[in-house]
């Protein structure tokens, strides 16, 4: 039987229960599964006792090999509107009001092309699994459009069918013309779940349901969405929560409760729920997150650019809250570099705290890499990704450390991935298939894709100006 071998890694980071890191590491892959992980000598001995033959041999010398990175929160369509509002320093609510009219000019082609571009950028940064939150469907756009893009690129995809139903006329934040009828929302949720959702192990496509936020949907829609999701296996629930102080105030004024308390009242806590941001929980809420096993996706760059605050990730991790990483929207981050996001998470937990001048060690590079791998798998409720172990899905990435950016960092090549400038992935495998080779995506004309993307972006901006 023919298998693939990734050999000679300078360091192989398994993220297994012992957090083993292997010098001269080898991963053996049969189909879409890992069948062996060890050093080169152990792998050769194992192969001598098996009936496998190595058909594809990938020399990973001079690289660190990791489990594929997992992005738990994104808005791929926002690649079309980078640097709008963020360059001027707008906070979240003002930023949203500025961009809603532009996003209202999207159509299916815009969703598809922006997803292709954003996913390509994520692939080149080490992402292998991507969760996306699409909550705007103007001009005939559908969740199907971004799913097509992910399938073409070979990304393990967790799209969530988002929604907005509470417009300005009903006390919400978004304009009425970008909101949908709630019955129509639920009907389309059923349609996409029935058409696309795959709950099986090693699934390449699992859907979630994701009303946008407490200030853009009704309580009734939140409840009905949770009830619907729980009728299907492995369908998770997702929303933005406690991203800013303004949101906390909105919930207290509108509902008489803090955001997490409001979510609890709607049945929106549990292992099948994860929240984007959670920048402003108090100690009691961190305890509630841990007790209910509700997940959190930390988006450090977006939170800094929009001046939302610093999420207390150290405290959450210490309380055993399920925490993963997300690059968030490409218009509130202006980039799609998941390894870079892990670096930001590491750095941000070292500043801005009482006694921070002596807290440089309060969050390590390895802890940040764990958020981007095992942490993401926990948040998305997956036990088949996030580590390099026999029986896990064959998702792995390899970063060069023999280049100019990592020169002099051989004392700890694993930490150097984050302490030095984050690099471009050299090799990436998803579900046993090579998707990045020599730092490029085979068969993808990036120059043409960028040109198509920018034409759509300019068209949307021109229409709004007119």
* Residue 372 near residue 325, CB atoms below 8 Å: yes
Is a pLDDT exceeding 60 seen at residue 356? no
Q: Supply the pLDDT for residue 330.
A: 85
Mean pLDDT, residues 70-93: 93
- For 105-120, what is each residue's pLDDT tens digit? 999 999 999 999 999 9
240-257 pLDDT, tens digit each: 999 999 999 989 999 999
Question: pTM of this prediction?
Answer: 0.97
Condensed to tens digits (0 to 9), the pLDDT of residues 20-39 reads: 999 999 999 999 999 999 99
Contact criterion met (CB below 8 Å) for 175 and 167: yes
What is d(CA 147, CA 46) in angstroms, rounded to the nearest whole number? Answer: 39
Contacts of 396 (CB under 8 A, 6+ apart): 6, 27, 65, 66, 67, 68, 128, 388, 428, 429
Mean confidence (pLDDT) of the chain: 95
> In this model, does residue 353 exceed pLDDT 90?
no
**pLDDT for 161 beyond 60:** yes
| Residue pLDDT, tens place only, 184-209 | 999 999 999 999 999 999 999 999 99
Reported as a pLDDT band with limits 50, 70 and 90, residue 358 is low
Domains of the chain: 2-67+384-437 (2.30.40.10), 69-379 (3.20.20.140)
For the stretch 319-344, pLDDT in tens is 999 999 999 988 899 999 999 999 99
In the prediction, which pLDDT does 332 show? Answer: 92
């Amino acid at each position: 039987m023919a298998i693939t071998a990734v050999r000679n890694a300078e360091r192989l980071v398994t993220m297994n229960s012992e957090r083993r890191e292997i010098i001269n590491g080898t991963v053996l892959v049969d189909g879409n599964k890992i069948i062996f992980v060890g050093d080169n000598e152990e792998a050769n001995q194992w192969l001598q006792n098996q009936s496998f033959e190595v058909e594809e041999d990938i020399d990973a010398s001079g690289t660190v090999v990791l489990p594929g990175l997992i992005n738990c929160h994104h808005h791929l369509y926002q690649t079309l509107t980078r640097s709008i509002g963020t360059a001027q320093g707008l906070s979240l609510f003002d930023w949203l009001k500025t961009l809603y009219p532009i996003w209202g000019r999207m159509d299916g082609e815009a969703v598809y092309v922006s997803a292709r571009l954003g996913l390509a950028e994520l692939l080149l940064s080490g992402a292998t699994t991507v969760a996306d939150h699409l909550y705007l469907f103007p001009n005939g756009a559908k969740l199907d459009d971004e799913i097509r893009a992910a399938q073409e690129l070979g990304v393990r995809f967790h799209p969530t069918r988002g929604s907005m139903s509470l417009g300005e006329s009903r006390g919400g934040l978004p304009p009425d013309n970008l909101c949908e009828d709630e019955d129509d929302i639920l009907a389309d949720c059923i349609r996409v779940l029935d058409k696309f959702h795959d709950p099986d192990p090693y699934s390449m496509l699992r859907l979630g349901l994701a009303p946008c936020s407490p200030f853009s949907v009704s309580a009734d829609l939140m409840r009905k969405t949770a009830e619907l999701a729980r009728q299907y296996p492995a369908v998770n629930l997702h929303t933005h929560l406690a991203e800013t102080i303004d949101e906390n105030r909105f919930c207290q004024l509108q509902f008489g409760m803090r955001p997490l308390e409001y979510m609890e009242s709607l049945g929106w806590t549990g292992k099948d729920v994860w929240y984007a941001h959670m920048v402003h929980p108090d100690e009691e809420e961190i305890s509630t997150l841990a007790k209910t096993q509700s997940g959190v996706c930390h988006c450090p760059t977006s939170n800094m650019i929009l001046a939302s605050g610093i999420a207390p990730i150290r405290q959450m991790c210490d309380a055993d809250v399920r925490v993963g990483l997300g690059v968030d929207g490409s218009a509130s981050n202006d980039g799609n570099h998941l390894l870079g996001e892990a670096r930001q998470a590491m750095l941000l937990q070292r500043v801005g705290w009482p006694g921070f001048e002596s807290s440089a060690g309060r969050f390590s590079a390895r802890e940040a890499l764990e958020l981007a791998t095992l942490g993401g798998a926990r948040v998305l409720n997956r036990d088949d990704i996030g580590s390099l172990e026999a029986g896990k899905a064959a998702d792995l990435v390899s970063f060069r450390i023999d280049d100019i950016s990592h020169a002099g960092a051989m004392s700890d090549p694993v930490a150097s991935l984050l302490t030095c400038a984050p690099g471009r992935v050299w090799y990436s495998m998803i579900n046993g298939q090579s998707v990045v080779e020599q730092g490029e995506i085979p068969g993808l004309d990036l120059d043409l894709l960028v040109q198509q993307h920018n034409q759509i972006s300019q068209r949307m901006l021109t229409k709004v100006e007119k």
